[in-house]
Structure 1
């Protein structure tokens, strides 16, 4: 491209993002700097995606960042735009997604008198951002370089750049600094970990979010196969060890369901598993733990017998080199996996609606029969348990979820970003009616973009997960539910295809139609939630 004769601060930010590999900026623009940044990004081949809500925009940016490895970028106006974006930034922070939020700021002259829409935006986002930077206090290129480096450094997370309308137009030098790769792991640390592993007869491998890159996944599969041991994955690492791999033993949350596997272990190899992924339960396995991570961190749940930090592929390769086969019998691992699936079976009373597990099974069968191979985004809520348990994954990134924050309203914007990132695969969103209603406007975003997104809505007119937690509390009518919404009708009103189903046969037919579509489709499924309590008890104890 031809650079402008006098590059501006907006040009400098866009140039830095382009050099870092960013392909899209997501956001809801306001006045001030937003339009300057959008124009500067376009000149460098970076698309702009208009979301309907700022939190959705940040979730989209975070999802693309997770899939691409490049920093995600979102923009918003000042004041209410930043306030709305805060939940998305919290998601990026706790789900370790590298995101830079460029928010319209206040010029120094404005700060002397401005009260309208003014609050300390940096202070508000400080708890969930790794850097808070302001163009004007520093050069735009420096701000971009520092924000990108902070977002990508382990543990990955979010950074804020404030850019006022006046600052966006100021002349600025273009610069882009490459982010250094993680350091190579220490050989002595690898050897110490290998000695701990060599003393174990029945190790178990737990895989977490840091290990989802393909090079890490390849070595992990080699390590697990060499050991012949069971492997558990966190929600965000689903697919690193494929569901049909004989070593796959289930999902690890630090809950009850994985207990039968870990109770038989004499060592645990924790690879890229961030404590933010675990539910707040005490670590109860008194065996040596080998911690493999991208950078040193506190392990509140256990004191590791050995720690290896640095580039994960090299660390995993070092552990795998010469690893001896364990004492685990493949038949025992298979029995444990089948026991895990039986314990988590969602078996409703067959009242009104379809069982949630059957929704997942019928949906995946329809996708396979149609040759539709979508990435799947799962929202927070009771439906996430049958979805994450029963949706079979073969590769890292097959399943997307907000786990560290576990925010509702995640699935649809995440699916949109996944479909834009990889149009050939498209995406599918499993969402409850509560989460969908929080971000209903993004159905219009999907429809306008023509994204290949199938939304499967578990519609039970209840906050089912919260309803389970009410115990004997006497709550007012309507506190945890609402009249059943016509979600399919809402999708049609917003420009997409909406289908309603109440039986398994109708669901199979609707999914066949949805899988054949090249645009956005919502399938509104009446579900029977009565099986959730037993499933959640089996999961968490």
Structure 2
């Protein structure tokens, strides 16, 4: 049966197993919305209408990060497409597969200054892996297939298809594309793997730096098998959170990112061999951890590394991460043991590292120390729950101190540090895992970048506990300005009653105060159904310690 371009595009999504399409309608793409909303095929993707195009991309990116398959976003022309930019650059930087579909004026209006006519393909080309404007309806299905392939191929990221209105409305004669198998990567040559093993065996202190591309399920499982046999100390990047399991926690030495002053930084500095696995420099530039180091670096990844003066690995190994790690594990005939003096030094560092999670005595009765919030949240969250974290001072405290034991269950925007991601990510997670409680953590600044999506969460009856750490500032900027200049500029804003804000959307709203303790309020929030906003007044008086200089290393 003959189909329109819009119907062919939706059928291609069905063939590719797309579950959700996030977006906002408009005249240039209303035919695609019609084909999604009024389709008898039970496999048709569910249409999720959002309150802003940028948030729609964040939701699609969360689907990509959590499932490894592209999330899809659909918006109209002009400002609809332009509003995709921040979400797409974030997805591309942070390895999240996304396919964005954007409306465009009819082809004979492309060269005119007509309503909502902008150069879609050219605008989004710098922030995506693949950007194309379809000129013939018969190419729509093929364009989607290629966008899907580019989105998931290492390094994963965002792709974009521009849809002229007359193209999606026209008839299609060609067959629809079927879902092709993803491109497979091989295992490294045996000689390279043998050399890799020999370098580990000769090293005094080999340390693993596990990055974003090590956090997919297959690679994490392979790395855990490797560590059972070859127990090396591991440092995670923020996006590598959860790679280390409960059983391997004795090998966990924290996360690195942003400021060069963590236990993991000290360990990397002292290591005579650093093994980076799935590490991307956008997570934590090599100049922050590899500058003036004397030890060697082995880079194991599915993509070639970016070479800089601060990052020139002694060995570069590229291939399928999970399969390669399994082959490495098999090459160790016997269980590997670190030298006794190294074990003693590591035990000393580990003891000091674990002690850092203990909150101090509360200095003010009206506010709560960040470590106290982290500690109480840790008690409420089980390993199956997904925790999304926005950007702000809270993000540093969560990244350094909140423990997660499953990969991609503690989500950060580290490559772009994009404000407003937490709530949209949480909504997507709630769609994928409706039987789980989803936790979202934001500051009072970043939350309002996407707070309008609380209506979306209420409409979807998403089981989200949204914590809002309240201090009245863009504090991540504030405390750094205080350190640099001894004063601040442009970091103040007015108060918001987040309990009333929640109620205005039909959500539950709770507040921590002198009558309602943090443990009491969190316990209540986690038993309620639907979206719950928890307002927490936070004491950030110790924040200037977050970017203090690297301390003397207890290794010395």
Q: What is the TM-score when the length of structure 1 is the normalising length?
A: 0.92
Structure 2 residue 228 is the aligned partner of structure 1 residue 225: yes
Query: Is the CA contact 1:430–1:457 (under 8 Å) kept in the aligned structure 2?
Result: yes
State the match for 1:309 in structure 2: 318
Query: Which of 1, 18, 25 is 2:21 aligned to?
Result: 25
Query: Within 5 Å, which residues of 2 pair with 1:142-541?
Result: 142-172=142-172, 173=174, 174-187=176-189, 188-242=191-245, 245-253=249-257, 255-257=260-262, 258-279=264-285, 281-282=287-288, 283-284=290-291, 285-300=293-308, 301-323=310-332, 324-327=336-339, 332-342=345-355, 350-351=363-364, 352-367=366-381, 373-471=384-482, 473=485, 479-503=490-514, 506-537=517-548
List gaps (5 residues or longer) in structure 2: none
Query: Is the CA contact 1:402–1:410 (under 8 Å) kept in the aligned structure 2?
Result: yes
Secondary structure at the aligned position of 1:465 is classed as helix
Cα displacement (A) at 1:211: 1.4
CA distance in 2, matches of 1:23, 1:198: 46
**Gap change, CA 1:408 and 1:280, over 3 Å in 2:** farther
**Gap change, CA 1:313 and 1:373, over 3 Å in 2:** closer
**Gap change, CA 1:252 and 1:141, over 3 Å in 2:** same
Kindly report the root-mean-square deviation, in angstroms, between the aligned alpha carbons of the 2 structures: 2.4
Query: Is the CA contact 2:299–2:305 (under 8 Å) kept in the aligned structure 1?
Result: no
Query: Is the CA contact 1:418–1:426 (under 8 Å) kept in the aligned structure 2?
Result: no
Question: Which shows bigger deviation, 12-21 or 33-42?
Answer: 33-42
CA distance in 2, matches of 1:483, 1:154: 43
Query: Which of 7, 10, 13 is 2:6 aligned to?
Result: 10
Residues 13-49 of structure 1, C-alpha deviation per residue, up to 9 Å, x if partnerless? 2233333332101111222124424524754421011
CA distance in 1, matches of 2:72, 2:178: 16
**Gap change, CA 1:35 and 1:461, over 3 Å in 2:** farther
Cα displacement (A) at 1:367: 3.9
Cα displacement (A) at 1:252: 2.4
Question: Which shows bigger deviation, 130-139 or 340-349?
Answer: 340-349
Cα displacement (A) at 1:192: 3.0
Query: Is the CA contact 1:12–1:141 (under 8 Å) kept in the aligned structure 2?
Result: yes
CA distance in 2, matches of 1:336, 1:304: 26
CA distance in 1, matches of 2:14, 2:222: 30
**Gap change, CA 1:417 and 1:330, over 3 Å in 2:** farther
Secondary structure at the aligned position of 1:441 is classed as helix
CA distance in 2, matches of 1:207, 1:182: 22
CA distance in 2, matches of 1:266, 1:482: 47
List gaps (5 residues or longer) in structure 1: none
Query: Is the CA contact 1:225–1:247 (under 8 Å) kept in the aligned structure 2?
Result: no
Cα displacement (A) at 1:504: 9.4
Query: Is the CA contact 1:294–1:311 (under 8 Å) kept in the aligned structure 2?
Result: yes
Cα displacement (A) at 1:65: 0.9
How many equivalent residue pairs? 533
**Gap change, CA 1:17 and 1:337, over 3 Å in 2:** farther
Cα displacement (A) at 1:275: 1.1
**Gap change, CA 1:538 and 1:376, over 3 Å in 2:** farther
